[in-house]
Structure 1
Amino acid sequence: MIAATARLLDTARDGWTMAGVLAVMIFLAVLATAGGIATATASRALGATLAGQVTVQIVAPDADTRARRAAQTVAALRRSPAVVHVVPVSRAAVADLLGPWLGSAATEADLPVPTLIDVTVAPGRDAVAEVRRIVAAVDPAAQLDAHGAALAGTDTLLRMMMLLAAAIVALMIAASIAMVLLSTRAGLAAHQLTIEVMHRLGATDGQIAMLFCRRMARDAALAAAIGAPLAWGVIVLLGEANAGTGSQLLGGMMLGRPGWIAAVTLPVMVVALAALVAYAAVRRALGRLA
């Protein structure tokens, strides 16, 4: 009897309509989840890369003076426990950096190009300050460029993007729940007479609610089977395109195993949530009618 009544409660056209709308929401929610996780990964990777990097510039006008102060600075930095690695940048490398702006003049020997020293500091808040103190003691005119400071604005933007992605996912889930509730209430109203007959034949509220729950789970599973693979395909295509950019920031935007687990788990959670919401809504509505 329950199986036969389930066919009476089934409206295929409404099921396809809800499944189509829910598929779009699942598609967008999975993409937003992947985008937020990839952005968080990129932010952590870029922060870890740049936080411990410092560039020292020796800006004395005389080449011999620059070379002498650079050697003294390198020696002093290598004696400090706050410094992990010190590498003087070659003149050829500096000329390559200036080439787009100065052209062939960047390779001229008499050009007063600053001597650069790449420094990797140990983790800790005081490491950069210690490097600054050491450099100032050797050459007060030297300039210090902490790469992590340049990330401050970018890091704030990335955090805002992560919050936006989380908000989009939350809104998509809330909209999905609202749509399930509307569909369930519409089903209850459309099949009110059938439900009354089922009650007279001995069906309980829980059995009727399970019929709606099963139908909603089927429609949500259909939506997940449509929307989730499309989202996964877009993620894979974007990942391949991202890998070819060569950008340090974009290159760190990877999902990894935790990200893929979230992208795969989210559609399953939506299906389970839709079934649970439908069951709870029917039980509550039938309880009011009792």
Structure 2
Amino acid sequence: MKRALGYGLIALALGAALGGIVYYYFASRQAPVSPSAQPPRATSPVPTPPIAVSENTCVACHRGLTVTVGHTFADWEGSSHARAGVACQDCHGGDATKSQVEQAHQGVRSSRDPESPLYFTRLPQTCGSCHSAEWQLFQQSVHYVQLRESGRGPNCVTCHGAMATTILKPTDLATTCSACHNPRLASRPEEPIKARFALTLMIQVQEYLDVAGELIAARKAQGDLSQAEALLEQARQTLQRAKQEWHVFVVDRVEEKLQEALEQARAALAAARSP
């Protein structure tokens, strides 16, 4: 009985994974989008003040649903979006103050609908209504040109996922990039390796910053650590610029900025360790 149940769960998991693969396979082959087409209207930024979770009918209803639509309520609940007060209506549309299904879903479109703010070619501008710096930089990238002209370029979900609950590991990033950048297509096959190294370097910089920050906090009562704090803040700002710069997808430029952040982080750590 237990073995049969285990096999059943494995089959369900494989089925879900296959379904996702099939969806992205066909989504990436949608009809080309004319570059002269009217740019999509981004959804409104997070309302001020945002609707309280306790008053949000989307949250109240979807929390109890056993059938998921694209992703689960738990995916959102554990996300940085939830922590920032960004809820369903901010991306999907609809009216989170209405309790009737028809009224609450007024204006909500399937993400496969070309008019939806979550349609794969429109998604970057929707995300950009809050993430403005990343959106401005992404528009400078070859990836954005490909996405707009052929519908085959990556968008935000490619790397961040729908709920931004995970970040691709360096090896997973290389695999994702290799879908287009590979020897068979002769499309800059070295890019996945360079991207993997850059992301590994970014993680290393973050580790240095975390350790330096913890050490400064632990030793602050022992003396003046203002120099270490200044160096730490400088390194954090440089790392943030590198993260934003990534969205142009010129990896050499990102690596250069990360090397700068690494040197600053090492200097901050050294200053924090000084007697």
- TM-score by length of structure 2 reads 0.23
Q: Which has the higher contact order (CA 8 A, sep 6+)?
A: 1
- TM-score by length of structure 1 reads 0.22
Q: Give the strand-richer structure, 1 or 2.
A: 1
Q: Which has the larger radius of gyration?
A: 1
Q: Give the helix-richer structure, 1 or 2.
A: 1
